[in-house]
Amino acid sequence: MKRAGLLFLLVALAAARFAALSIEPYGDQVFDLATGVTTLPQGGVIHDNANDLSIDAEYVEYKEDVYVLARKAKSEAGKVRFAAEQLRYELPEDRVRLEGGVVLDTPQVKALEARSAWIFLKDGVAVLEGGVRAMSPELEAEAMVSDYRSGEALLLAPYRYRDAALGVTLSGKNPEKPLYLKFDAETGEVQASSKPAAEVKARLLAFVERARAAANP
């Protein structure tokens, strides 16, 4: 009896997790009994209330409590907006993988571009890699990790950052020495330093390692 009760509870929890997703198809929905995958060939909009996440895409497929795959997708989570040729939302890990033509808007940086990115939704952290660049503020980097809730970020070398207030350009090529950026939420001012606090550097770089490990399991 206890086993049956436990099994019911686990099923209920799984159902509740997926019930947090609401699906608005633009056309047909095709369910594959063999794989458990549902496809929206004409695309649609998916909302995840648990993470305040919405995905609007031209093609969508999803598997209950496992993943959402979207192509030519635009999405937002709270105050962060992002778009990519392909988006994969992994529900158990609460993370989003973006690939191809990535564009990210955070409260601190607008029109941030990269070839690929990971968004760790629960942590409020984005890791971008490959041709990272933005116009406001003006920056370029091999990779960038941004805690968009605290307003802290690291640019990984090689990087170039234009400090508009001081009229100077900071650059670096040493991969062991990232550039630390701290955005003031009230004034919008940015403080840049090549010597971030050790604990901040370690915390943010840990997300880069998590992203690279997730990309190459």
Are 99 and 85 within 8 A, CB to CB?
A: yes
pLDDT digit string, tens, across residues 10-67: 333 333 444 568 999 999 999 999 999 999 999 999 999 888 999 999 999 999 889 9
Query: Does 194 lie in the same domain as 104?
Result: yes
Tell me the CATH number at 190. 2.60.450
Average of per-residue pLDDT across 68-82: 96
Average of per-residue pLDDT across 197-216: 95
Residue 130: predicted pLDDT: 96
Residue 16: predicted pLDDT: 40
Structural domain boundaries enclosing 45: 20-78
Residue 104: predicted pLDDT: 95
Residue 44: predicted pLDDT: 97
Phi, psi of 102, deg, nearest 5: -70, 130
Q: Classify residue 216: in a domain, yes or no.
A: yes
Of 3-17, 30-44, 114-128, 165-179, the one with minimum mean pLDDT is 3-17
Share of the chain above pLDDT 90, in %: 76
Q: Classify residue 2: in a domain, yes or no.
A: no
Q: Classify residue 205: in a domain, yes or no.
A: yes
Residue 163: predicted pLDDT: 86
Q: Classify residue 88: in a domain, yes or no.
A: no
Q: Classify residue 208: in a domain, yes or no.
A: yes
Average of per-residue pLDDT across 76-93: 95
205 three-state secondary structure: helix
Distance CA 1, CA 85 (A): 49
- Which pair of structure tokens corresponds to residue 210? 């998590």
Residue 1: predicted pLDDT: 44
Average of per-residue pLDDT across 139-153: 96
Distance CA 116, CA 215 (A): 10
Number of domain units in the chain: 2
Residue 217: predicted pLDDT: 77
The pLDDT-based confidence of 120 (bands split at 50, 70, 90) is very high
Phi, psi of 101, deg, nearest 5: 55, 40
Q: Classify residue 110: in a domain, yes or no.
A: yes
Residue 20: predicted pLDDT: 67
Q: Classify residue 168: in a domain, yes or no.
A: yes
Query: Does 207 lie in the same domain as 116?
Result: yes
Q: Classify residue 15: in a domain, yes or no.
A: no
From the number of C-beta atoms within 10 Å of its C-beta (0-12, 13-18, 19+), residue 33 rates as: exposed
